[in-house]
Amino acid sequence: MAIINDYVICKAFRVILQPGLQWIASSAFDGKTITRNNRMNMKGLYLILLSFLFGCNLPDMQTGKEVSYYFDQPAQIWEETLPLGNDRIGMMPDGGIERENVVLNEISLWSGSKQDTDNPYAYYSLANIRRLLFEGRNDEAQDLMYKTFVCKGTGSNLGDGANAPYGSYQLFGNLVLRYTYPNESDSIAEYRRRLNLSEAIASVSFKRGNVNYQREMFTSFSGDLGVIHLVADADRALNFSLGMNRPEHATISLDGKDLLMRGQLPDGVDTLEMKGMRFASRVRIVLPKGGDLTATDSSLSVRSASEAIILVSLGTDYFDKDGVGQSLEKYLSQAESKDFSTLRREHTLAYRSLFDRVSLDLGKGERDHLPIHERLAAFAQDKNDPGLAALYFQFGRYLLISSTRQGLLPPNLQGLWCNTIHTPWNGDYHLNINLQMNHWPAEVTNLSELHLPLIEWTKQQVPSGERTAKAFYNARGWVTHILGNVWEFTAPGEHPSWGATNTSAAWLCEHLYTHYQYTLDKAYLRDVYPTMKGAAQFFVDMLVQDPRTKYLVTAPTTSPENAYKMPNGSVVSICAGSTMDNQILRELFTNTIEAAGILGVDSVFAAELAAKRDRLMPTTIGKDGRIMEWLEPYEEVEPTHRHVSHLYGLYPGNEISIEHTPELAEAARKSLEVRGDQSTGWSMAWKINFWARLQDGDHAYKLLGDLLRPCVDEHTKEVKGGGSYPNLFCAHPPFQIDGNFGGTAGIAEMLIQSQSGLIEFLPALPSAWKNGSFSGLKVRNGGEVSAKWTEGLLTEARLKAIVPGSFLIKLPANSANMSLKKNQKPVSLPVVDGKVTVDLLQGEEFVLQF
């Protein structure tokens, strides 16, 4: 009810204020008609009104709905807590009534340190490994490789790198709040624990006796610190103590009124002293309406208050040596000078500048009001809840906005959130799908700038990748394998069955070029071109002719992380060439050639790439009608393996399509059918995208249902199989965020596609999403698109040019009586082959109605 009231009030204000606001904005920022001083005042007025409009607890601008989910009880496991993040700082409160635990994270908190991991002897065995592969003695090649062609040192320490040089992304610590109540025997009523995605705020509210308690928490996008606001609606009814802890390597102390936690992690080399990354946190409590604040050496206590603001500042010295010193104090004092509503408003305003760019309405269901765990359970039985997919989609955008920011790091295997020292797989940057999948929604869901931390991270790997290229392959350019961390690890992993993948840099370069395709920003392309060129150059040197087939192949390599049976019965992973490698390399070479052409450079190199590209084995259909995963018709050991690497060319690549390569598309469909649907979380997310590209909306939706399958037993809390945790985190299991991002991208892929230069609205609409609309999605070549549909048929499509250019649009089947408008004026355009082309200047809009 409160939401509706807020909404109605704010909507009314909008209607009244918006026209005035527009006038003020044009005067303030255009400023031809007024003096400089007046313009400054106008600017101030504009910003105040704007922040008021955004600041009033307002739901989604386009749909009028608050995007949120809730629980009706405190969390019992971490995967029921609510993830908050401002890209750098993460908090996950469990909403406990007597004791509340808030897990703290910081995106750069890694143990380990920079090392030389290039094995100087590896290269000497390369020729022998290749010879054995070309003689068909793959098992022997693999044995030799296991002994010689691995990184120096312990690599990822088999996924337990916390105390090894490789390091691990780790829990920052816990903030523990212990609440006491005027009358402990009073019962609890009306408990709600909500994550509001529209505002990036977690809240808890309940009634104990006659007192209403309200908690709000956020990780501020404007102030770069954590904010917790506690309110009781009766005098002196708010009493609590606050402490901090961490399982190891931290000390707690008091500094004036602030509680401090300081520590240093192992660098993985010195086992006795901690010589790695430093970290620190400073917590301050403000009591705006009075109360008693006292402190011990390790805790702060508040008695007889009715309102408290807890400010949580934390940092590491990874980016900034001062990150553990003065900066912490600076964030606190800046925040302390503002009241809570200002802190909240500024935070929401900053967050919404990203979140509000896209709306998605897939229709109302009867389950919108259910607690999220009940909603997931109901969905597992009956898929008639279209709003759940829209929520999941926006949750993915929320997670991306919350876990990465320009100038910081890309989201790791768990985004920003972990609750242990030994994070699964070190919470690192796995590069044979996972880190890339984290960024699949970035462009299409209008969060293009959130692609940049990955792109910067990729560029940072180049010097180390060049050393690795030289040491292992005696090649120019740069290479990286499956493992990535914050210490520029680029060598092969310690176990070649998974560690030998060497097309990761090439795959990362697909992201570099995709960002260009969406933005057409030439200055950006000039900046990333050397990184693409270096990745391509590596393969110019590393590709070798297979004497049997005469094709150029990557060798040694794998098809991640699958194995096959040799005729002699041996189970082997290592091979010469794999379909995925070929698809990625064709794409890398094509993109690099295209980029060189756009920039007018390197024509000789481009010709060399084109010649090499022609000598790669094309994607081939095997006797069984499926796409061959390896270059030879090996029998796979695990036909339902989670990696579907040989369909890279279907998604995220673009060499297999229904329109241009129908036979390959059919073979891809067969491959998917044999692979099966059920798998780990991210694998199912990938398959949503595959089926969307095959334009089978119902199968994509079926996979979305599998991805949303509740994986935690309600009573025992035991976790079984891939799916979703109660808080919508994706379950590999364990929690891996790639599935969330892959699922979000998959939903977008069902609604809009532009990979072949053709814009197609609703290419894979499932029958479950009969009526709906979206706005603000992005297409390649710099367009922003919106659509509406009724009974499964597109009724309106809009395209706005963010970059001027020519856009090719595929018309739907029901286009016989369409009307076209450009900048609100009717136009008529020729229809060729069921498509129209429209030329738009920047900001111009084209509308198609059916």
Site for ligand FUC, rule CB under 6 A: 413, 425, 430, 432, 434, 498, 561, 642-643, 680, 682, 732, 736
Instruction: State the minimum distance, in angstroms, from the CB of residue 442 to ligand FUC.
Output: 20
Instruction: State the minimum distance, in angstroms, from the CB of residue 483 to ligand FUC.
Output: 9
Instruction: State the minimum distance, in angstroms, from the CB of residue 559 to ligand FUC.
Output: 12
Report which DSSP code applies to 577: -
With vertex at residue 418, the alpha carbon angle to CA 413 and CA 419, rounded to the nearest 5 degrees, is: 155
Instruction: State the minimum distance, in angstroms, from the CB of residue 680 to ligand FUC.
Output: 5
Nearest-10 Cα torsion for 385, 369, 710, 647: 40
Q: Integer distance in angstroms from the first to the last C-alpha of the chain?
A: 37
CB 616, CB 582: distance < 8 Å? yes
How many residues would you count in the chain?
850
Instruction: State the minimum distance, in angstroms, from the CB of residue 681 to ligand FUC.
Output: 8
Instruction: State the minimum distance, in angstroms, from the CB of residue 492 to ligand FUC.
Output: 14
Instruction: State the minimum distance, in angstroms, from the CB of residue 159 to ligand FUC.
Output: 8
Instruction: State the minimum distance, in angstroms, from the CB of residue 428 to ligand FUC.
Output: 8
Q: What is the DSSP string of 281-306?
A: EEEEEE-TT--EEEE-SSEEEEEEES
**Torsions phi, psi for 127 (to 5 deg):** -60, -40
CA distance 168 to 638: 30
Report which of 561, 572, 664, 578 is spatially closest to residue 622, judged by C-alpha positions: 664
Looking at the Cβ atoms of 55 and 733, the one nearer to ligand FUC is 733
Instruction: State the minimum distance, in angstroms, from the CB of residue 152 to ligand FUC.
Output: 21
Looking at the Cβ atoms of 483 and 809, the one nearer to ligand FUC is 483
Looking at the Cβ atoms of 419 and 736, the one nearer to ligand FUC is 736
CA distance 475 to 195: 50
Report which of 708, 793, 794 is spatially closest to residue 393, judged by C-alpha positions: 708
Place of tokens 């598309």: 665
Looking at the Cβ atoms of 630 and 774, the one nearer to ligand FUC is 630
Looking at the Cβ atoms of 263 and 681, the one nearer to ligand FUC is 681
Paired tokens of 134: 């070309």
Looking at the Cβ atoms of 513 and 682, the one nearer to ligand FUC is 682
Report which of 80, 740, 101, 731 is spatially closest to residue 424, judged by C-alpha positions: 731
Nearest-10 Cα torsion for 508, 512, 514, 518: 150
The amino acid at residue 40 is: M
Looking at the Cβ atoms of 226 and 424, the one nearer to ligand FUC is 424
CB 571, CB 621: distance < 8 Å? no
Instruction: State the minimum distance, in angstroms, from the CB of residue 739 to ligand FUC.
Output: 9
CB 536, CB 590: distance < 8 Å? no
Q: How many helices (H) and strands (E) does the chain have?
A: 21, 34
Looking at the Cβ atoms of 66 and 561, the one nearer to ligand FUC is 561
Looking at the Cβ atoms of 386 and 493, the one nearer to ligand FUC is 493
Instruction: State the minimum distance, in angstroms, from the CB of residue 649 to ligand FUC.
Output: 19
Looking at the Cβ atoms of 437 and 606, the one nearer to ligand FUC is 437
Report which DSSP code applies to 617: P
Looking at the Cβ atoms of 86 and 414, the one nearer to ligand FUC is 414
DSSP reduced 3-state for 532: helix
Q: Would you call 474 exposed, middle or buried from its count of C-beta atoms within 10 A (0-12, 13-18, 19+)?
A: exposed
CB 537, CB 588: distance < 8 Å? no
How many other CB atoms are found less than 10 A from the CB of residue 638? 13
Instruction: State the minimum distance, in angstroms, from the CB of residue 113 to ligand FUC.
Output: 22
Looking at the Cβ atoms of 490 and 680, the one nearer to ligand FUC is 680
CA distance 743 to 717: 24
Report which DSSP code applies to 108: T
